[in-house]
């Protein structure tokens, strides 16, 4: 059990996880200023766990490509043989449960955002969608999952720090005319960097469908 717990922590890869958390904090700061709260802690846990799901699913889907490209560092235990497919699937399932549980204190909006994160995580790597193999769609999916949705989650966290007259939490207006439109600027931040943004966010070389390495990032 301790080995699997260590594996779970290993799948939260710092570079991409910190990138996601940065957009979460930007969304929070934009709407509530620099604030530390219990909701921010729960959102951070939920976001990190959702990324562990994404990393686990991607490692399973791309294990042969990773081995071909020589990506056998400790952060990819499946490629190195340190973990089995069953271990990584357990990690993905456990991280998914943690993400949902951590989103519960954030209310329906927080659950919805984390649910969308998890849906994109699975669709990106798993069949039949496997968006990672659709070069026109994959960068857009990553932008939504790693930029727009964390930013929206930051807005959700911010609602506790905004006066009732401004936020109107119980009103559909808040969700349809404030939360979702505010995500659009975040999408544009990296949209122009595709497909290189895909490689950065997945913390891996840019790979074509045949597994040939095209760009090795530092």
- Reply yes or no on whether the pLDDT at 47 is more than 90: yes
Q: Where are the domains of the chain?
A: 2-215
Q: Which has more pLDDT, 153 or 185? A: 153
Residue % of the chain over a pLDDT of 70: 71
Which pLDDT band holds residue 4 (cuts at 50, 70, 90)? confident
List all residues 6 or more positions away from 167 whose beta carbon is below 8 Å from its beta carbon: 159, 174, 178
Q: Which has more pLDDT, 207 or 37? A: 37
- Reply yes or no on whether the pLDDT at 164 is more than 50: no
- Reply yes or no on whether the pLDDT at 49 is more than 50: yes
Across-strand partners of 213?
Answer: 207
Q: Structure tokens of 180? A: 């979702």
Contact 32, 161 (CB under 8 A): yes
Q: Structure tokens of 157? A: 């966290």
Its pTM stands at 0.72
- Residue-level pLDDT at 162: 54
At residue 201, the 3 state secondary structure works out as helix
pLDDT digits (tens, 9 = 90+) for 20-43: 999 999 999 888 877 788 999 999
Q: Evaluate whether the domain defined by 2-215 bears CATH number 1.10.357.140.
A: yes
- Residue-level pLDDT at 160: 56
- Reply yes or no on whether the pLDDT at 210 is more than 70: no
- Reply yes or no on whether the pLDDT at 178 is more than 80: no
* Residues 75-85, mean pLDDT to the nearest whole number: 83
What is the Cα–Cα distance from 184 to 191, expressed in whole angstroms? 11
What is the Cα–Cα distance from 203 to 21, expressed in whole angstroms? 15
pLDDT digits (tens, 9 = 90+) for 107-154: 999 999 999 999 999 999 988 888 988 888 989 998 999 899 999 999
């Amino acid at each position: 059990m301790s080995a699997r717990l260590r594996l779970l922590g290993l799948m939260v890869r710092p570079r991409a996880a910190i990138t996601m958390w940065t957009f979460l904090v930007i969304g929070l700061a934009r709407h509530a200023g620099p604030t530390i709260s219990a909701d921010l802690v729960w959102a951070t846990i939920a976001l990190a766990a959702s990324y562990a799901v994404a990393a686990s699913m991607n490692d399973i889907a791309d294990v042969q490509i990773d081995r071909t490209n020589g990506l056998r560092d400790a952060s990819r235990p499946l490629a190195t043989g340190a973990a089995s497919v069953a271990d990584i699937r357990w990690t993905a399932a456990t991280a998914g449960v943690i993400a949902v549980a951590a989103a519960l204190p954030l209310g329906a909006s927080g659950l919805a955002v984390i649910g969308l994160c998890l849906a994109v995580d699975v669709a990106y790597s798993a069949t039949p969608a496997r968006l990672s193999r659709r070069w026109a769609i994959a960068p857009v999916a990553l932008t939504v999952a790693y930029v727009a949705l964390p930013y929206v989650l930051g807005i959700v966290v911010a609602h506790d720090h905004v006066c009732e007259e401004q936020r109107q939490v119980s009103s559909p207006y808040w969700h349809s005319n404030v939360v979702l439109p505010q995500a659009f600027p975040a999408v544009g931040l990296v949209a122009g960097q595709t497909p290189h943004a895909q490689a950065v966010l997945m913390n891996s070389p840019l790979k074509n469908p045949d597994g040939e390495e095209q760009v090795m990032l530092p």
